[in-house]
Structure 1
């Protein structure tokens, strides 16, 4: 039997699919649609759309946002949806700070092989952001052809982590496709959250950031700095596979010198069923790609989230092939992209700004893996003519929506470029500061 490509329903009608008997918890009343797009032979990409659910405003009067997760190999339809901005959390309870109250949200499991997306063979996995962008053009062309009602609605791409690197490349190709008439949509801007735009700027600032927050001593600072410089030499030599391997070494050095600092929020520690010393020893014994996937992909595909996605959600969706497991190809996706991992895309951001695309950078104060110091470094190195005036500006304080009078963020904007500094948040800003993230999104999409 041929797999159905799309399904559109009102989620409230699927209550029985989200419960295994007994009492039912809250279910989003938003209209939903999902489906597959065959972006290449043997490559099948899954998407899931929530129509905006605002009692006072039609979805046609609110923007459309595509959310891209990082990794590469982390699932938007899983983690971004149920852990960050979707209408329901992992327990299927309603999320007060869901973004669908202010926008329609399109989650895409990208690249192919991520989440419910899959490939027929390992050879069909993408190897770089150029391939990722090419696949996404096929998906977006199909999406906007199917959903003509969204063609004139302002369309934004929001991203997190490696998703930001992919979002930059996707945005540039989308701009070209719109200009040539290949895709009809109203592209309004891209937002790069804690994004892996310049890997070397991140790793070179890990040591100083950790030292300034009392998480490294002098000896630790020297060890971390030495490991980071080795990565810099590999990048300078153009050996990006070696740079990725050395990045894994650097992370082990950081863990050993900080007693297991959490790379996604420095106020926490790496958690695992085993004690920290056992975890570090295990990571050191694994090949570097396996250890990187274990550290950065598998936590986003936790056992409880995996049970939800491969259980109730799979049953609800009804179109997932029997041989596809949510997240089953995640490690392979990361491995396939390893040669592209440490390559920067600052030049792509410059091209976007020069083309007049609205670009926003936003970063969490407590993030280590993409620390704010590193983000500021590559931003200052932009060749866009407006960067000098941007750098001279002072930022503006924003109140925390949950605590009026208390600063929740700072923002600075000049022409088509903005930067948001989000306080008390780590790598996953909507998880740590949901209300502040929602307000930021509304500001970026010009709703306040």
Structure 2
């Protein structure tokens, strides 16, 4: 009798395991598996009514054999209304698993190779998508060399292709606010992908509630950012004044080469210019500081990527882990083949597409840990300061204000960093954090991304109100017929635009030729009707 009970118990356990590991969603090109970790790997992960957590593959349309790997983590709180956040790790060629287990994912890898649920993963209040991209990064792969990726145009098209299919399967969150995020080389990915999505929504009828994007310690405008290395190093006491001046003397040569690369996009001048920039600026700082960790100047470099991540490499290549994720491939932190493929892309400038999006109300947050050298906060703030957008004149007068993850009225909490904010743009400096802000300051990182996606001020001052006043003033003062309304009523504006398109039968682009006066007149007339009805 006891043997029968044990046998039935075992069969029931096996049935539950395989039932829970079934493919949860499938389409013609996208397949997903619920992630079911072996019990021996779990420590303190809730097993009662957990949020949906899946891993999957997507077959790209344009390719011969490319399969893009991704995670989808449902929000722990209010998933039906929580914003959707896409995360892309940089490199180029570094995998999303680095972020999932070390930064802003739901899992923490413990010293004994068990996993715990993180307290400050971005999935606490967001539905989060992590993608291994470009192809041949992480678990993404292609056996056909024709599928290799070397430019942002392809990156952007691939992400549009993936998201189109993803939201066909996950139609329950397609109307939720959507944000693109990433760090490091994602300073290229994020603007490129965001702009492609923006154009698809505005001109091609792509159904996506795209609201904004955020870049953490990114490389976005190399021609400007290379010029900050010497000043940042000197300000932090790791470079002499004479060496700083020498580096800055040669920097214009780097800037010329980077601008030439961006304007021509030719392989040879881009490669030569990158070598010149590295030799005349960045490498001279490194030579003056042997063994420095370029991602955190307070630490020493340990390993090829300056952090020892061999534990994660071993973990991701375990048979039981790969079975839980539905993969069967050797995993590596970063692909140096992908890295090499993007050599001619490094010096291209991707801040030029940002102003147009901001003019249509797309929100932008650039944040940076202040201990990072390679994509330091000074260089990032410099390119933000040089953006040519409708608030350029006022931006220079915006002062940095302290923010705190613990801020509350009347409190004297320690500052987590500083923030400058105006209209749709904010620049956030994060104290005591290096290149990977969510790893070094997880609580503060969750605070800043949650405030951003909810369009809330990071400070106790009402910056949001200041931004709205600025936007309204800009609209009312500028009566250019060809302009676009880009204040806090962007949602209403786009609703009006789409309504006009349906009524007149013209394309949405044609409806958007409406001037600012037309929109304001429509808005004021609608307000008058509502007022009369009340």
Cα 1:210–1:120 shift into 2, 3 Å = same
Which residue, 230, 236, 243 being the options, matches 1:213? 236
CA contact (8 A) 1:365 1:422 kept: yes
The secondary structure found in structure 1 opposite 2:396 is: helix
1:421 offset after TM fit, Å? 1.3
Return the index of the structure with the highest Cα Rg: 2
Match of 2:273 in 1: 243
Match of residue 33 from structure 1? 54
- Cα distance in 2 for partners of 1:376, 1:255 equals 22
How far apart, CA to CA, are the structure 1 residues paired with 2:244 and 2:222?
19
Is residue 233–residue 285 contact of structure 2 (8 Å, CA) maintained in 1? Answer: no
Structure 2 match to 1:278: none
1:34-433 matched pairs, under 5 angstroms? 34-39=55-60, 40-54=63-77, 58-76=78-96, 78-91=97-110, 92-222=115-245, 224-225=247-248, 228-238=251-261, 239-249=269-279, 250-272=281-303, 294=304, 298=305, 302-311=309-318, 312-318=320-326, 320=327, 322=328, 324-327=329-332, 330-401=335-406, 405-433=413-441
Structure 1, unaligned stretches of length 5 or more? Answer: 273-293
Q: 1:229 to 1:393 in 2, by over 3 A?
A: closer
Quote the offset at 1:140 in angstroms. Answer: 0.6
TM superposition shift of 1:329: 7.3
Indicate the RMSD between aligned Cα atoms, in angstroms.
Answer: 2.4
| TM-superposition CA deviations, 1:116-163 (whole Å, max 9, x none) | 111223331111111110111110101111110111111111110111
Mapped partners of 1:381, 1:447: distance in 2: 24
Distance 1:225 1:17, change over 3 A: farther
**Pair 447,172 (structure 1): closer, same or farther in 2 beyond 3 Å:** closer
* Cα shift at 1:395: 2.9
Q: Select the structure with the greater relative contact order (CA < 8 A; seq sep ≥ 6).
A: 1
CA distance in 2, matches of 1:427, 1:300: 12
Matched, 1:439 2:447: yes
Structure 2 partner of 1:289: none
Deviation (angstroms), 1:405? 1.3
Task: Decide whether the 8 Å contact of 1:68 with 1:164 is kept in 2.
Answer: no
The alpha-carbon distance between structure 1 residues 413 and 90, as it changes in their structure 2 partners (threshold 3 A), is: same
Q: Distance in 2 between matches of 1:392 and 1:254?
A: 32
CA shift for structure 1 position 302: 2.5
Aligned to 2:38: 16
Moved more, 389-398 or 99-108: 389-398
Once residues 249 and 39 of structure 2 are traced to their aligned partners in structure 1, the CA distance between those partners, rounded to angstroms, is: 54
The total of aligned residue pairs comes to 408
Q: Spell out, residue by residue over 1:293-343, the C-alpha distance to the aligned partner (whole angstroms, 9 max, x if none).
A: x4xxx457832111122224312112x2x4x32238711111111101111
The DSSP-based 3-state class of the residue aligned with 2:415 is strand
Consecutive unaligned residues of structure 2, counting only runs of 5 or more, are: 1-27, 262-268, 457-534
8 Å Cα contact 1:6-1:33 kept in structure 2: no
Q: Which stretch has the larger CA shift, 359-368 or 240-249? A: 240-249
Please give the TM-score of this superposition, normalised by the length of structure 1.
0.85
Q: Measured at CA, do residues 234 and 395 of structure 1 come closer, stay the same or move farther in structure 2, by a change above 3 Å?
A: closer
Do the aligned residues in 1 keep the contact of 2:300 with 2:306 (CA within 8 Å)? no
2:522 — aligned with what? none
Which deviates the most, 41-50 or 388-397?
388-397
In the TM superposition, residue 42 of structure 1 has moved relative to its aligned partner by 2.1
TM-score, normalization by structure 2: 0.72
Residue matched to 1:283: none
Q: Distance in 1 between matches of 2:107 and 2:333?
A: 23
Change (3 A) 1:259 1:246: same
Tell me the CA shift for residue 15 of structure 1: 3.8
Q: Deviations over 1:5-53 (max 9, x none)?
A: 42242x5xx242663xxxx423353311221112222222111100001
